[in-house]
Structure 1
Amino acid sequence: MFFLPSIHRHPQFRQGMRSIASVAPGIAAWGLMTGVAMVRSGMSVTEAVAMTMLVYAGSSQLAAIPLIVAGAPAWVIWATGFCVNLRFVVFSLHLRDYLMHLPRWRRLINGFLTADMTYAVFTRQFPEPATDAEGRLAQEANLAGSYFLTWTAWCGASLVGVGLGNLIPSAWGLGFAGVLCLLGVLCSLANTPLRLLALVVAGVAAVAAYALPLKLNIITAIAVAVIACFWLEGRMPKSLKEQAA
């Protein structure tokens, strides 16, 4: 998709790169430490490179690595990755109207390349999907530009981390840059009372269930927050439901 002439030559492709450039260093730092973490966990270079290129999901990778090291059952690893990445279902539903006019293979590529920051930055720039062909092309080019820089920063830095392995000390704390990136996404998306409630409930549940083995507190927190918000939303007045949406 990056190399379609109509996409990468469009002015919005460069605009998309510029829009994500400010957070690219944080993404790269997080990718670097993820690469180091994979090697230090005992994964081979081949496995770490394959995980970097095929999974392309930092939070899911970091959640899965300690489970793999601990010898957790495959279903626990899959369930953890699934729950950690559930937010992309919401992202996909929101982006559906922007991308449904595209062929399936291009929609699939967009789905694979969607990341937290690209979604947040893109939807802030384009609150509504375009209705004409030129506008749709511009939006796709902008999204592709942000995808390109994000993917390059993440995968490039992660591969460097895999290559350097134990040469990069954990004391550098580069992984904290990735946490700051996610906090930025969190603050930008927690913009309604119901979303704030989900944030609080998930945080409390994660801390309360921290003693569970195999990082099951993550799955527990997600499940509790989803159930609580569904239950509350069903009892909200119509006016508040519209505000929460």
Structure 2
Amino acid sequence: MAPIAAGTAAWGLMTGVAMVKSGLSVFECVLMTLVVFAGSSQLAAVPLIVAGAPMWVILATAACVNLRFVVFSAHLRPYMMHQPLWRRMAGGYFTTDLSYVMFTARHPKPVPPDDLPTLRAQEASLAGNCAVTWVAWVVPSLIGIAMANAVPLHWGLGFAGILALLGITLSLASSRMRLISAGVAGAAAVAAFALPLKLNILVGIAAAVAVCLMLEKPAKPDAGLPKSGEAA
């Protein structure tokens, strides 16, 4: 996580600056940074809070922006179901896009619950990813809140976070199916950009999943297993 922490830090810094310059108090900015810990939904919710939008509109907007984490949590479920509920809930808070991607790239498959050494290794890997990401986001965000008047928004440092995500995405495009899914998701998200509440992200995910399911060939039966009716 260390090589991409700089991009996360730049993004967090600009989010802290943006929250203060939007009109929130320092206390509100610090509370949102520590409790929400989700840059996209923070940036989507802040203008609504400042405009005095109803609470349900703010919550619905933040929920729609973060719906991609439903997909992440469904994928991570086999990795975490052996843990008690409070640890799974804490893992949900600390997990971000980057920590999820880096963890699943390193551990593509869950392990049986009786394989304790590997389970511990996976838990340590995810905890380390999340810890580095949390520090790289929260600390610069607090610095941005404290130095909001000294860091102009036109510096565009938040774009560094996008570059970090783009770099990881390209590094994961290691097969033709992944290239196709990335292309389909990107094209669908751009085509649906006009949708409210950033629902174009969900359109991109749904389109990529649908296309890959259609293209994926079913697994061939094991030739070593006896066919129905044959003696073992």
State the TM-score, normalizing by the size of structure 2: 0.81
Q: Distance in 2 between matches of 1:201 and 1:224?
A: 6
- CA change 1:103–1:65 in 2 (3 A) is same
Task: Find out whether 1:218 has 2:198 as its counterpart.
Answer: yes
In the alignment, structure 2 segments of 5+ residues that lack a partner are 220-232
Deviation at 1:237, TM superposition (A): 6.8
Task: Find out whether 1:41 has 2:22 as its counterpart.
Answer: yes
Task: Find out whether 1:133 has 2:109 as its counterpart.
Answer: no
Which of 192-201 and 85-94 deviates more? Answer: 192-201
Task: Find out whether 1:152 has 2:140 as its counterpart.
Answer: no
Equivalent runs, 1:71-150 vs 2, <5 Å:
71-131=52-112, 132-150=115-133
Which of 182-191 and 82-91 deviates more? Answer: 182-191
Deviation at 1:50, TM superposition (A): 0.4
Partner-residue secondary structure (3-state), 1:98:
helix
User: Which residue number in structure 2 is paired with residue 193 of structure 1?
Assistant: 180
Q: Distance in 2 between matches of 1:226 and 1:125?
A: 22
User: Which residue number in structure 2 is paired with residue 6 of structure 1?
Assistant: none
Which of 109-118 and 170-179 deviates more? Answer: 170-179
State the TM-score, normalizing by the size of structure 1: 0.77
In the alignment, structure 1 segments of 5+ residues that lack a partner are 1-19
- CA change 1:237–1:41 in 2 (3 A) is closer
Q: Is the 8 A contact 2:64 2:197 kept in 1?
A: no
User: Which residue number in structure 2 is paired with residue 25 of structure 1?
Assistant: 6
What amino acid maps onto 1:95 in structure 2?
L
- Asked which structure has the greater CA Rg, the reply is 2
Q: Distance in 1 between matches of 2:169 and 2:48?
A: 25
1:11-33: CA deviations, max 9, x gaps? xxxxxxxxx00011111111111
User: Which residue number in structure 2 is paired with residue 202 of structure 1?
Assistant: 189
- CA change 1:106–1:73 in 2 (3 A) is same
User: Which residue number in structure 2 is paired with residue 3 of structure 1?
Assistant: none
Q: Distance in 2 between matches of 1:29 and 1:79?
A: 27
- CA change 1:187–1:163 in 2 (3 A) is same
What amino acid maps onto 1:163 in structure 2?
A
Deviation at 1:181, TM superposition (A): 2.2
Q: Distance in 2 between matches of 1:127 and 1:230?
A: 18
1:51 to 32, 41, 45: 32
Q: Is the 8 A contact 1:116 1:185 kept in 2?
A: no
User: Which residue number in structure 2 is paired with residue 183 of structure 1?
Assistant: 166
Q: Distance in 2 between matches of 1:102 and 1:185?
A: 28
Q: Is the 8 A contact 1:34 1:58 kept in 2?
A: yes
Task: State the percentage of identical aligned residues.
Answer: 53
Structure 1's consecutive aligned runs of 4 or more residues displaced over 3 angstroms after TM superposition are 70-73, 184-190, 192-196, 222-234
Deviation at 1:163, TM superposition (A): 0.8
- CA change 1:36–1:233 in 2 (3 A) is same
Deviation at 1:65, TM superposition (A): 1.7
What RMSD in Å do the two structures reach over aligned CA positions? Answer: 2.5
